[in-house]
Homo-oligomer: A and B are copies of this chain.
Amino acid sequence: MVVGIDPDPARLWPAAAGRAPQARARLVQALAAADEAAHGLAGTGAAPPSAGSARFEAAAAILAHSLALIDAAAPACVAAKPQLAFFEQLGAPGWLALECVCTRARAAGLLVLADAKRGDVPSTAEAYARALAGPAPGLGADAFTANPLLGRDALAPLVDGARAAHGGVFVLVRTSNPGAADVLDLPLATGEPLWERLAAIVDELGAGGAGGGLADVGAVAGATVPEHLARMRDLMPRAPFLLPGIGAQGGAVEALAPAFAPGRAAGLVTASRSIANAHEQHGGDPAAAARREAERLRAAAWALA
């Protein structure tokens, strides 16, 4: 089980907001000072007054929430998957919160899977690999998600960077959103849909890693299209599958058996909103509800393996 960390500033756990008020006040003050110093160096004056200190308060709040979520879900999970967009929308303070989330997840015994979906030309892809998998100031993630649209030479630096850090990459093969049909399902002249060609690239890239067991290049395979999983497993026999789309997006764990064919570790079911917001549906304390939901999903996944 992988717990997604997608903190929505409008939907944080109330109890987390009250924790450590002094430490949060110190952080808000320090963030404001760093912002002022940076704009001082740039000669661009202070940040726009509209921003005020609200952005720093918001970053401290999503950090407190994310830490509580990690602590609650860790016992039922193997990895935490921060979604970079939800941190980037708060700017530099958001990225600092992201760094702390990664550190805390590791301290809780979890792998860190940076959900970044990056993809760029080779020289830029090298920089992304450093940002995601590299040691500090990189995030030091154990794995990250990557977009294969730019082809093999753009994926290679991402795979190499992850491999150098003894980590892995999950390449988008068939995503969980309905619109994936617009491009990923397009039939090629050779007969198969585009996603099958991407699966072949994933299998090929994974063959370059350390031998035996699972490959270090995996696939993002939407849990909303379980009818494709058997074919994906045929095309990528050694790839770990990252399986988003459970819960809020409509996928069900029970339909994911082919992902687990090589063993329990071959499928990573990931859930974000259904864990973080479990209390809204089932009542009770958010942390306790989150842990119960993570445990329930884990049990359902393990029953398949």
Are B26 and A184 within 8 A (Cβ)? no
| A90 contacts chain B at the CB level, 8 A cutoff | yes
How near does chain B come to A239, taking the closest CB pair, in angstroms?
A: 18
Interface size classification for chain A: 35 or more
* Residues of B close to A104: CB separation below 8 A: 42-44
How near does chain B come to A175, taking the closest CB pair, in angstroms?
A: 5
Known: A120-B85, A121-B176, A136-B48. A39 touches B131 (CB 8 A): no
* Residues of B close to A27: CB separation below 8 A: 34, 37-38, 40-41
Q: Mark A24-52, 1 if CB is under 8 A from B, else 0.
A: 10110111011111111111100110110
| A203 contacts chain B at the CB level, 8 A cutoff | no
* Residues of B close to A181: CB separation below 8 A: 151
Q: Which 5 A-B pairs have the closest CB atoms?
A: A151-B179, A153-B179, A151-B182, A91-B137, A85-B127
Q: Which A residues are closer than 8 A to B by beta carbons?
A: 6, 20, 23-24, 26-27, 29-31, 33-44, 47-48, 50-51, 55, 58-60, 63-64, 67, 83, 85-86, 88-101, 103-104, 107, 117-125, 127-128, 130-131, 134-139, 147-155, 172, 175-184, 186-189, 191, 194, 197-198, 201, 244, 249
